[in-house]
């Protein structure tokens, strides 16, 4: 399906990273350490810390995001994924802003730029809680995404002659994208009348109106039904195949395994592991921090309610605690 | 770019069709389309004028008096002046979502700039420019600290700033400069304007056919003509602005600032532009407001701001003609309530001055009822207000 949609959008066609083998070869040389160097990093983040009172929500020493592939950022609830997103897109300021927080995108320093300048640099994001503009039509939502509109200048806005032609071009582009995201029939409806999943699609399509270099999706699948998830995944993959860099936050491990080329795992504000999707899941640090030690146990299993099973678990827990105490003593 | 019809993948179409079924109800009453809604409202508006005119001309006794009062109020230059201020407020609140609770402050600055300049011997053009400049600077001073914060802060700052301005204008120390609490008599600044008149003294009565409109040299056809002409010009300006991508940006900011920011737009600059333009409209309204009357700071206090808000919500926020219709109906309605309650209720229960107060009480009740039961006003689009943001 991805090829089909790519053709429909009239884009430049598949790029070198459209081939899974090429992507695997590219990332094969990268070590699976947190903060490892990438062959061609589009986004480099250094020493970003964000404290809320006494709690450290995000503490990232170093992270690089490879250009042209899909990178997933996963982690349990409260791991700081969204806060990290907000920090690097200019919606929040790091607490370490004056003590060595640096991040650059596409060779451009972003340390002190506002959210709008980050977007203008080519890094466009979506939100976990969809920010569709509900009391405007789907089409108006789309048109707002386009960059460099002459009619948005107050001095020329009153004279349609100065922006009419450009408006037509933007309209054509918006129709194309709406078509690709199956929202064309809804173009004149108010965005508030769309379903949650359609709003996710609209937000993604709107972000694409600005021709971003990298798109950052904050939980694109949250609240979307399984059927629509499939098509969303297809869209994300086709974006990658056209040469866009994708960084997305997700909870659902199946989704991550299915489409991401590289996975970064966050827990308690830190990057705990990195690696290709299939191997990072078996990393003990990830299993411990993210899935929990008992991730294989089915909590809905009635056999667990027996006394023997409970005893077994409590023994396990006791053994673990003893081991932890030992470790601390040796330290 | 490929054609639009050929490439919808079938599974996608089926999926979206499935998801929309539960949410989108085609039988949902959405109200008539915008054009028809506007036609209906315009018809009611015209019918209102015809009825009031005929009643003013032919109705006997008290009914005729009330109708004449309503007609005078509906076409008065001060109503037009407030309409222009409301057009500015509509840019603030209706399109951009800025809670400006101090529109009377902008009006007062325009009025002061105009009247003080002429009173102190400057030409009228300079007076107009001074009024505009004062409102411009006021908008900048208010906007810089508050527009980066949440919307409520602007409301707090504007209402207090407008009051501060009024009290400064009342300072006895400044009596020689601003006229203090007594203000500046209209005769001190009106002349350059009335001298431009090409309607003579402006007391034409339609050859005796028109009902008594209490036209005088200062409240004649000339000032009314200029005021309503300016209302038309302002409506045209707003129409041209809000249909442009700039207007779209305003509405986007009203819906969700962060979303607009994430698309790479400078939200602060756009909000500032909107605040300034709406403030300039307010200043223009203020200048017209004092032309047929006198410059009195207390006439432009909080209550005038609240009249503007009530009239805006009555006519319909985020519409081009809503402010005009709202202003006319608001002031006429007040006269109607005042006159009727005066005529119907015996003096032992409610005397004439109490009837006037009762009319103002009704204004407050109207504002509440409007916000609760018809937030879109007469002309507004129900769909623009139905969804929770």
**Token code pair at residue B151:** 């919307």
In terms of residue numbers, what domain contains A315? 300-331
Query: What are φ and ψ of residue B233, in 5° steps?
Result: -65, -45
In terms of residue numbers, what domain contains B82? 61-194+216-386
Same domain for A121 and A215, yes or no, is yes
pLDDT by 10s per residue, chain A, length 331:
343 433 333 344 456 777 778 888 888 778 777 878 888 889 999 989 999 888 889 999 899 999 999 999 988 888 888 999 999 999 988 888 777 888 889 888 888 788 999 999 999 999 988 888 988 999 999 999 999 899 999 989 999 899 999 999 999 999 999 998 889 999 888 898 888 888 988 999 999 999 999 999 998 888 777 888 888 888 899 999 988 999 999 877 778 888 889 999 888 888 888 888 888 877 887 777 766 656 666 666 666 667 777 788 788 888 888 888 887 776 5
The answer to which of A38-42, B168-172, B238-242 has the lowest mean pLDDT is A38-42
Q: From the centroid of its chain, how far is CA A259?
A: 12
Q: Count of CB atoms within 10 A of residue A68's CB?
A: 22
Same domain for A18 and A63, yes or no, is yes
Contact check, Cβ <8 Å, B19/A225 = yes
Q: Which of A270, A327, A259 is nearest to A79 (CA)?
A: A270
Q: Which residue in the set A133, A193, A231 is minimally distant from B15, CB to CB? A: A231
Amino acid A294: pLDDT: 63
Contact check, Cβ <8 Å, A119/B262 = yes
Query: How far is the C-alpha of A250 from the C-alpha of A75, rounded, in Å?
Result: 8
Say what the pTM is: 0.84
Query: What are φ and ψ of residue A91, in 5° steps?
Result: -85, -10
Q: From the centroid of its chain, how far is CA A304?
A: 37
Instruction: Flag whether residue B75 sits within 8 Å of chain A, measured between CB atoms.
Output: no
Contact check, Cβ <8 Å, A210/B264 = yes
> B239 to chain A, minimum CA–CA distance in Å?
9
| Eight-state DSSP code of residue B221 | H
pLDDT digits (tens, 9 = 90+) for A142-174: 999 999 899 999 989 999 899 999 999 999 999
Contact check, Cβ <8 Å, B15/A228 = yes
Residue corresponding to tokens 């969700």: B256
Same domain for A77 and A202, yes or no, is yes
The answer to which of B76-85, B109-118, B150-159 has the lowest mean pLDDT is B150-159
Residue A189, in any domain of the structure: no
Q: Which of A114, A75, A104 is nearest to A264 (CA)?
A: A75
Residue of B nearest to A125 (CA): B262
Residue B355, in any domain of the structure: yes
Residue A76, in any domain of the structure: yes
Q: Which of A143, A138, A191 is nearest to A167 (CA)?
A: A143
Same domain for A273 and A314, yes or no, is no
| Chain B residues inside the 8 Å CB shell of A127 | 258-259, 262
Amino acid B81: pLDDT: 97
| Chain B residues inside the 8 Å CB shell of A227 | 11, 14-15, 18-19
pLDDT digits (tens, 9 = 90+) for A6-16: 333 334 445 67
Residue B329, in any domain of the structure: yes
Same domain for A249 and A230, yes or no, is yes
pLDDT digits (tens, 9 = 90+) for B183-227: 999 999 999 998 888 877 777 777 777 777 777 777 888 999 999
Yes or no: say if B379 and B324 are a contact pair by the CB < 8 Å rule: no
Residue of A89, A128, A158 for testing the chain B interface, max B β-carbons within 10 Å: A158
Same domain for A123 and A256, yes or no, is yes
Residue B353, in any domain of the structure: yes
Query: How far is the C-alpha of A281 from the C-alpha of A272, rounded, in Å?
Result: 12
Give whole-number Cα distances, A269 to A72, A84, A247, A249, B194, in Å.
16, 8, 17, 14, 72
Same domain for A275 and A309, yes or no, is no
Residue A228, in any domain of the structure: yes
Residue corresponding to tokens 């927080």: A101
- What's chain B's average pLDDT? 86
Residue A171, in any domain of the structure: no
The answer to which of A98-102, A204-208, B236-240, B287-291 has the lowest mean pLDDT is A98-102
Same domain for A292 and A306, yes or no, is no
**Token code pair at residue B271:** 């909000």
Q: Which of B56, B47, B36, B226 is nearest to B128 (CA)?
A: B226
Residue B27, in any domain of the structure: no
For residue B386, how many C-alpha atoms fall within 13 Å in the half-sphere facing its CB? Answer: 12
For residue A3, how many C-alpha atoms fall within 13 Å in the half-sphere facing its CB? Answer: 2
Query: Using N-to-C axis directions, what is the helix angle for A160-180 and A196-208, rounded to 10°?
Result: 130
Total domain count, chain A: 2
Give the 3-state DSSP-derived string for chain A, with helices as H, strands as E and coil as C: CHHHHHHHCCCCCCCHHHCHHHHHHHHHCCCCCCCCCCCCEEEEEEEEEEEECCEEEEEEEEEEEECCCEEEEECCCCCCHHHHHHHHCCCCCCCCCCCCCEEEECCEECCCCCHHHHHHCCEEECCCCCCCCCCCEHHHHHHHHCCCCHHHCHHHHCCHHHHHHHHHHHHHHHHHHHHHCCCHHHCCCEHHHCCHHHHHHHHHHHHHCCCCCEEEEECCCCCCCHHHHHHHHHHHHHHHHCCCEEEEEECCHHHHHHHCCEEEEEECCEEEEEECHHHHCCCHHHHHHHHCCCCCCCCCCHHHHCHHHHHHHHHHHHHHHHHHHHHHHHC
Same domain for A327 and A226, yes or no, is no
Higher pLDDT, A38 or B168: B168
Query: How far is the C-alpha of A130 from the C-alpha of A199, rounded, in Å?
Result: 7
Instruction: Flag whether residue B35 sits within 8 Å of chain A, measured between CB atoms.
Output: no
Yes or no: say if A193 and B23 are a contact pair by the CB < 8 Å rule: yes
Q: Which residue in the set A116, A183, A184 is minimally distant from B267, CB to CB? A: A116
User: Mean of the pLDDT values across residues B98-121?
Assistant: 95
Q: Which of B159, B164, B183, B158 is nearest to B289 (CA)?
A: B183
Which residues make beta-bridge pairs with A43? Answer: A65, A105
Yes or no: say if B60 and B236 are a contact pair by the CB < 8 Å rule: no
Total domain count, chain B: 1
Q: Which residue in the set B1, B266, B383 is minimally distant from A172, CB to CB? A: B1
Q: Which residue in the set A134, A175, A225 is minimally distant from B387, CB to CB? A: A134
Q: Which residue in the set A143, A179, A228 is minimally distant from B248, CB to CB? A: A143
Residue A69, in any domain of the structure: yes
Residue B5, in any domain of the structure: no
Residue A284, in any domain of the structure: yes
Residue A170, in any domain of the structure: no
Yes or no: say if A23 and A261 are a contact pair by the CB < 8 Å rule: yes
Q: Which of A74, A21, A72, A65 is nearest to A43 (CA)?
A: A65
Same domain for A319 and A243, yes or no, is no
Which residues make beta-bridge pairs with B149? Answer: none
Residue A115, in any domain of the structure: yes
Contact check, Cβ <8 Å, B248/A140 = yes
Instruction: Flag whether residue B11 sits within 8 Å of chain A, measured between CB atoms.
Output: yes
For residue B76, how many C-alpha atoms fall within 13 Å in the half-sphere facing its CB? Answer: 28
Yes or no: say if B339 and B77 are a contact pair by the CB < 8 Å rule: no
Same domain for A87 and A40, yes or no, is yes
pLDDT digits (tens, 9 = 90+) for B64-80: 999 999 999 999 999 99
Yes or no: say if B155 and B306 are a contact pair by the CB < 8 Å rule: no
Amino acid A14: pLDDT: 56
Query: How far is the C-alpha of B176 from the C-alpha of A49, rounded, in Å?
Result: 59
Amino acid A32: pLDDT: 76
Strand duo A102-105 + A214-218: pairing = unpaired
> A40 to chain B, minimum CA–CA distance in Å?
25
Q: Which residues contact A108 (CB under 8 A, 6 or more apart)?
A: A121
| CATH number for position B154 | 1.10.3470
Same domain for A211 and A329, yes or no, is no
Note the ipTM here: 0.80
Q: Which of B220, B272, B213 is nearest to B246 (CA)?
A: B272
Give whole-number Cα distances, B32 to A99, B36, B38, B299, B339, in Å.
59, 6, 9, 40, 35
Instruction: Flag whether residue B365 sits within 8 Å of chain A, measured between CB atoms.
Output: no
| CATH number for position A64 | 3.40.50.300
- Let me know how long chain A is: 331
Residue corresponding to tokens 């569709």: A132
Contact check, Cβ <8 Å, A144/B252 = yes
Query: How far is the C-alpha of A218 from the C-alpha of A82, rounded, in Å?
Result: 7
């Amino acid at each position: 399906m991805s090829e089909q949609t790519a053709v429909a959008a009239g884009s430049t066609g598949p790029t070198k990273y459209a081939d899974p083998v090429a992507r695997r070869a590219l990332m094969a040389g990268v070590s699976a350490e947190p903060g490892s160097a990438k062959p061609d990093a589009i986004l480099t983040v250094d020493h970003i810390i964000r404290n809320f009172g006494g709690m450290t929500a995000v503490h990232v020493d170093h992270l690089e995001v490879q250009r042209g592939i899909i990178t997933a950022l996963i982690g349990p609830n409260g791991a700081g994924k969204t806060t990290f997103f907000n920090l690097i897109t200019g919606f929040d300021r790091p607490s370490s802003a004056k003590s060595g927080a640096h991040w650059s995108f596409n060779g451009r320093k972003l340390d002190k730029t506002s959210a709008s300048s980050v977007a203008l640099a080519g890094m466009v994001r979506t939100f976990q809680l969809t920010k569709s503009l509900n009391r405007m039509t789907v089409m108006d939502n789309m048109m707002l995404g386009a960059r460099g509109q002459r009619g948005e200048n107050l001095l020329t806005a009153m004279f349609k002659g100065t922006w009419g032609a450009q408006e037509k071009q933007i309209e054509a582009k918006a129709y194309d994208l709406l078509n690709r995201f199956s929202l064309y029939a809804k173009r004149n409806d108010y965005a508030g009348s769309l379903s949650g999943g359609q709003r996710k699609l609209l937000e993604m399509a709107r972000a694409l109106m600005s021709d971003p270099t990298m798109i950052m999706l904050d939980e694109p699948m949250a609240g979307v039904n399984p059927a629509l998830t499939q098509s969303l995944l297809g869209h994300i993959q086709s974006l990658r195949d056209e040469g866009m860099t994708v960084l997305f936050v997700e909870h659902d491990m199946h989704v991550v395994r299915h489409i991401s080329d590289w996975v970064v795992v966050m827990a308690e504000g830190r990057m705990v592991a990195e690696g290709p999707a299939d191997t990072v899941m078996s990393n003990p640090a990830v299993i411990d921090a993210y899935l929990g030690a008992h991730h294989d146990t089915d909590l809905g299993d009635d056999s667990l309610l027996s006394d023997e099973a409970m005893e077994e678990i409590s023994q396990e827990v006791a053994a673990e605690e003893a081991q932890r105490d030992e470790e601390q003593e040796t330290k | 770019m490929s054609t639009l019809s050929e490439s919808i993948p079938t599974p996608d179409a089926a999926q979206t069709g499935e998801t929309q079924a539960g949410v989108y109800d085609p039988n949902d009453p959405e109200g008539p389309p915008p054009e028809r809604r506007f036609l209906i409202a315009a018809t009611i508006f015209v019918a209102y004028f015809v009825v009031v005119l005929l009643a003013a001309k032919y109705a006997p006794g008290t009914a005729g008096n009330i109708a004449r009062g309503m007609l005078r109020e509906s076409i008065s230059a001060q109503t037009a002046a407030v309409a222009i201020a409301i057009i500015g407020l509509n840019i603030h609140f209706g399109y951009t979502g800025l809670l400006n609770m101090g529109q009377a402050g902008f009006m007062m600055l325009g009025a002061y700039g105009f009247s003080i300049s002429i009173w102190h011997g400057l030409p009228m053009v300079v007076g107009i420019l001074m009024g505009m400049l004062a409102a411009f600077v006021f908008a900048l001073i208010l906007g810089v600290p508050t527009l980066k914060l949440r919307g409520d802060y602007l409301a707090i700052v504007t209402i207090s700033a407008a009051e501060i301005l009024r009290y400064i204008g009342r300072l006895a120390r400044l009596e020689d400069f601003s006229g203090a609490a007594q203000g500046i008599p209209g005769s001190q600044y009106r002349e350059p304007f009335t001298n431009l008149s090409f309607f003579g003294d402006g007391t034409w009565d339609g050859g005796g056919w028109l009902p008594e409109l209490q036209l005088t040299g200062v409240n004649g056809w000339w000032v009314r003509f200029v005021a309503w002409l300016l209302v038309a010009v302002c409506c045209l300006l707003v129409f041209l602005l809000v249909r442009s991508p700039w207007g779209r940006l305003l509405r986007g900011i009203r819906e969700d600032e962060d979303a607009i920011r994430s698309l790479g737009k400078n939200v602060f600059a756009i909000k500032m532009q909107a605040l300034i333009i709406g403030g300039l409209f307010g200043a223009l309204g203020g200048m017209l407001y004092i032309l047929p009357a006198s410059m009195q700071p207390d006439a432009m206090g909080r209550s005038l701001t609240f009249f503007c808000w009530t009239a805006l919500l009555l006519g319909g926020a985020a519409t081009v003609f809503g402010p005009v219709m709202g202003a006319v109906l608001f002031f006429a309605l007040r006269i109607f309530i005042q006159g009727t309650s005066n005529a119907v209720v015996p003096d032992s229960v409610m005397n004439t001055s109490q009837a006037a107060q009762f009319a103002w009480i009704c204004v407050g009740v109207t504002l509440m009822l409007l916000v609760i039961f018809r937030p879109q006003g007469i002309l507004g689009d129900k769909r623009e207000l139905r969804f929770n943001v």
